Structure 1
Amino acid sequence: MSNQQGNATVDDIDPITFEVMRSIFEFASDRMASVLQRSSFSPILADMLDFSNAIYDADLQLLSQAANCPVHLAAMKFSAEEAVKSIGKDNVHEGDVLVVNDPYRGGTHINDISFIQPIFYKKELIGYGVSRGHWMDLGGGGAGGQAFSTHIAAEGLRLPPLKIFTSGKINEDLLAIIMNNSRTPHFIKGDLQAHLGALRGAEQELQRACERYGVDTVKKAMKKIQAYTEKMIRESIGRIPNGVYEAEDYADTDGVSQERIKLKVQLEIADTSIKVDFTGTDPMCQGAINSPRANTISAALYSLQFFLAPDAPQNQGMFNPIEVVLPEGCWLNAQWPAPTIGCTTLTSSKITSAIWQALAKAIPEKITGSTCSESNWFVASCTAPDGKTDVFSDLPAGGWGGTPYADGMSVTMDPLGNCMNMPAETAELFFPIAYEAFEMRQDSAGPGQHRGGLGAIFKVRFLGGGELGMETARTLEGSPGAAGGLPSAVQRSSHIHADGSVQVIGGFDTEGAWRNPLLAAHKFHAGDVFMFESTGGGGWGDPKRRTVEEVLDDVLDEYISIEAARQHYGVVIDPQTLQVDMTATQALRG
């Protein structure tokens, strides 16, 4: 890497200026996130925080990113590169904003729409601001694009790189096309202005830095900060034993086939670099869980950063030591017309789980049990009693895996998202639905010396009619444990009819029959309830090594049942007195 800037080097940046510049770049991204959240119209942005923001240098190398949605962050670079390449760098001017959501041109799934603004200082291009958000609905054969068809066309409006603003003037024709292809046009203009405000914030901060410190200093600081992070990441990789470590995970189904869809990963640690090789992964599938290249690479990169140098400045230096090998034709390298709606919420989480299982063979003292490894994303069109329609979405969270030091976190978004659940108050204010439950699910966590975090039981009642699409997995087996920990419970979706009868619509029913958990346009009537039971994280360590006191506390807290305490932990508790029978416990524990 060259550290030259004209006749000066980046080493001319003194430590104080370095820290000032680093803080300015980080603040610019954080300001973008704050502006977007506060000014957006749709609840999925304003309340659930399903968005990401970052700034890049003039070469489209990541400079800083806000702590937003991990699966977006590394992928946004690919969208920005495709947009600038397609439009032409010489055709991008001050006041322009580009837009793209094409999964095959740097995108993920169609709902994730990216806005790219070049940033100039005194006519010189100094960087780019990029803001990506998950828009509630961009058309398609099911609400939120969840048609779970076999062709990308069923998932909504696919935009190639275009200019949405030219010299500060909006493209009204393009805006009209977007609004005409959405079930929620009432959110479009407000959300677009929110993204524009975020981009303007990045522009102001970088221009202010150039005005105060000089453009040469700012440009040298950009390169030095990236080199600094790369050095930290390489040092961290150097502490992992050299070797080749493999693991597999899978999706329960692609929605069409009844067979599991496998992914295989091989991590090759060589001194200060990592190769992530997905050779051996199943080919592209018919169903809508295929992952575009940008999404797969992003998932691989953020999965590794958890165990490298998470405190390092977030920039291109994080990614330079990591190579990702993606075979042509596999379901992690989707090509047109493969559908991709489940790529972020399902596929990314399986990539993380597989990588963490491989890392467990390299650094078992640091790795955790798998998370719920699912975003459990559902979208429902819903009709109010007065006939008004809208689109409602939520992400019922599950548990994270147990760690070498403590139990896993309960009811927490999978690492791919860093999003929030929809607040019940917001949902009931906006949509014709009523929340009936969102509570801890007993016995959902993987048993272990440090058990996994718990999943949840989620219930929402439709006040009018509705059609629900659902993307989930972990319905055949729970989240894997680590270091001898056990897997968590399986997940399940149910339709509770207004008369009280219960119909399992995803996963195993009480008689052992399994139903496809990828739902498209499942009909609900007024008074019907959708119930989802999310899983917990995998356990860490032998459950029999968990202290008797901890097991008893879990029973008293209703995290685990008396039966589970005996079966998994070898702790016998009297159901009447809730006291431990130490004689029976010692006999079970050997």
Structure 2
Amino acid sequence: MTTNAPHTDAPTNAQQEIRFQIMWNRLISVVGEQARILIRTAFSPIVRECEDISAGVFDTQGRMVAQAVTGTPGHVNSMAESVGHFLRHFPVETMKEGDAYITNDPWMGTGHLNDFVITTPAFYRGKLVALFSCTGHLMDIGGLGNGPDATDVFMEGLSIPMLKLVDQGVVNETLMAMIRANTRLPVDTEGDTYSLVACNEAGAVALRDMMDEFDIDTIEPLANYIIDRSRQAVLEKIAALPKGRWSHAMTVDGYDAPLELKATLTVAEDGVSVSYDGSPAAVTRGINVPLAYTKAYTVFGLACAISPDVPNNAGSLAPYRVDAPAGSVLNALRPAPVSSRHIIGQMLPDMVFGCLRTPLPDRVPAEGTSCLWNIAVRGVWAPDGDSKPRAFALAITTNGGTGARPGLDGLSATAFPSGVHGTPVEIAENQCPLIFWKKELRDGSGGAGLTRGGDGQIMEIGTTNDASFELLAAFDRVKYPPRGALGGSNGAAGIVKTSKGRSLPSKGLHVIASDERLHLLTPGGGGLGAP
């Protein structure tokens, strides 16, 4: 006689692991589809062509579960905190299907007013199961424009607090009218706002399809698995590191005077912390950095050096801790001007690498151009066939060279750490009356070394008509070029001038006359090791 064992359909641990892994890959496809909708439908060229975005899915606790494999660390990692702010203002029990929430608050968003963040609750069979959030850069949001000249945030443009943009499918037309009335590009700005809404809606639809496919009614077990495993993976990486404390300092151009940034990095058993204690106080122009943006790029630098193969989510971010003194240039408080926060914020991976050069010399590069050399231009023009002149405002994304890497040369004309694409010349010339007479590599601008720094670019820009245009300059590495390391040479400094021999300050509003051309020479990256 035999005894029948109890029958169960419960999956084994190994089966559950495989199932979670398949679902994880499917979730990456969901947020990938979310991001592609945003890129394909955006009006702003910096989103449509350069992918200056973020997109991701969060659980109902506000933890980032997965992000699209595109976009910038400044958007993605600050968005990871933004959703928590949305939940404070709009608790989950108040959310309804068809709602969407918006802000561009620099201290609860991505660090400046030109980025809209929209968060949308996702429902499945009448139950709230997740949140989708996304960010996109808008060309113009009023004020003095996307440059560093303002002396407080109120001068930098329209500020949108935490507000409900869509209420159960009904758009807040009053808010949309306010947005249109406070930008030089009302059609583009309205279109970009709806693009962000559509992006999240696409994510919610894709998630519902996924939940149907796997026959689940919640993503919480999957979220816990992803976050716990990612956190543990980072802690294992940290456990293998030398323990100790290292410091680094870097001088950047600043606005009116140079600024010396200071960082101390500590590796302990339970995580890695970076303190910017000793960094200078906030300045009176818009190069200050809100703490969320400081955290975003600092953590990105840590992840590049320590855990580059671990997915980016709430779990993998948790072991990294960042602080800066309140009121400092790296923890600017309202109402400090912050429009060009990327200038200093994107230098912070180099600060992290400088701290890690002693314990991990074979993992970190020399300094690069780092901060984007965005050519922000503005003016009025009448395109062929148009009888009525209209305003234009455009940020043309460019960069210099990256720092030399251990065993590899630096990359030329590449945006690291931001990761955005360069704006194609054809797109820029189609959007405004500029013409690029020259755009070529700046040969030899990368610093010499055992491995060389990447080269910058040379650009010569004029107009196709008789009009002048405004340049909202926000460039760095002009007075203090990217430094070489371990015996490598410095990269070449950046240069901003005109065809008439005028040397222009690297920050501030300049008018380029119709009979002169703008000449930009972007910096080269530093070399690594003795040549």
Amino acid at match of 1:183: R
Is residue 2:522 matched to residue 1:524? no
Counterpart contact for 1:83–1:162, Cα < 8 Å: no
1:170-569 correspondence to structure 2 within 5 Å: 170-215=171-216, 218-253=219-254, 255=255, 257-258=256-257, 260-343=258-341, 345-384=342-381, 387-415=389-417, 417-463=418-464, 464-496=467-499, 501-506=500-505, 517-520=506-509, 522-543=510-531
Report the CA distance between 1:156 and its aligned residue.
Answer: 0.5
- 1:152 is aligned to 153
Which deviates more from structure 2 when the two are superposed, residues 387-396 or residues 354-363? 387-396
Gaps of 5+ in 2: 1-9
- Distance in 2 between residues matched to 1:15 and 1:58, nearest whole Å: 23
Counterpart contact for 1:382–1:392, Cα < 8 Å: no
- Distance in 2 between residues matched to 1:252 and 1:196, nearest whole Å: 38
- Distance in 1 between residues matched to 2:335 and 2:316, nearest whole Å: 32
Specify whether residues 11 and 97 from structure 1 end up closer, same or farther in structure 2 by C-alpha distance, changes over 3 A only: farther
Is residue 2:17 matched to residue 1:15? yes
Counterpart contact for 2:112–2:340, Cα < 8 Å: yes
Counterpart contact for 2:64–2:80, Cα < 8 Å: yes
Amino acid at match of 1:377: N
- 2:5 is aligned to none
Amino acid at match of 2:111: T
- Distance in 2 between residues matched to 1:348 and 1:333, nearest whole Å: 11
- SS of residue paired to 1:335: coil
Is residue 2:46 matched to residue 1:44? yes
Total equivalences in the alignment: 514
Gaps of 5+ in 1: 1-7, 507-516, 544-590
- SS of residue paired to 2:38: helix
Specify whether residues 147 and 485 from structure 1 end up closer, same or farther in structure 2 by C-alpha distance, changes over 3 A only: closer
Report the CA distance between 1:127 and its aligned residue.
Answer: 1.2
Is residue 2:114 matched to residue 1:91? no
Counterpart contact for 1:266–1:277, Cα < 8 Å: yes
Amino acid at match of 1:307: A
Amino acid at match of 1:414: F
Moved over 6 A (4+): none
- 2:3 is aligned to none
- Distance in 1 between residues matched to 2:220 and 2:422, nearest whole Å: 39
Aligned CA RMSD, in angstroms, stands at 1.8
What TM-score does the superposition give when structure 1 sets the normalisation length?
Answer: 0.84
- SS of residue paired to 1:503: coil
Specify whether residues 340 and 13 from structure 1 end up closer, same or farther in structure 2 by C-alpha distance, changes over 3 A only: farther
What TM-score does the superposition give when structure 2 sets the normalisation length?
Answer: 0.93
- SS of residue paired to 2:196: helix
- Distance in 2 between residues matched to 1:324 and 1:9, nearest whole Å: 40
Report the CA distance between 1:362 and its aligned residue.
Answer: 1.5
- 1:33 is aligned to 35
- Aligned with 1:113 (options 116, 119, 126): 116
- Distance in 1 between residues matched to 2:455 and 2:181, nearest whole Å: 42
Specify whether residues 455 and 57 from structure 1 end up closer, same or farther in structure 2 by C-alpha distance, changes over 3 A only: same
Report the CA distance between 1:527 and its aligned residue.
Answer: 3.8
- Aligned with 1:104 (options 97, 107, 111): 107
- Distance in 1 between residues matched to 2:432 and 2:218, nearest whole Å: 51
Specify whether residues 359 and 425 from structure 1 end up closer, same or farther in structure 2 by C-alpha distance, changes over 3 A only: same
Counterpart contact for 2:60–2:92, Cα < 8 Å: no
Counterpart contact for 1:288–1:338, Cα < 8 Å: yes
Report the CA distance between 1:107 and its aligned residue.
Answer: 3.4
Specify whether residues 419 and 349 from structure 1 end up closer, same or farther in structure 2 by C-alpha distance, changes over 3 A only: same
Amino acid at match of 2:175: L
Counterpart contact for 1:446–1:487, Cα < 8 Å: yes
